[in-house]
Structure 1
Amino acid sequence: DEPTGNLDDENSDRIIDILKQLAHEQGFCVIIVTHDMEIAEASDHVWRIKDGTIENVK
Structure 2
Amino acid sequence: MGMDLSTGINIFLHQVVNDGGMPFTPSAANTLPETLADALVDVKAGRVEHFANFADYLGAMDKL
Fold shared per TM-score above 0.5: no
Q: TM-score, normalised on structure 1?
A: 0.37
Please identify which structure carries the higher strand content.
1
State TM-score, norm by structure 2: 0.35
Bigger proportion of residues as helix:
2
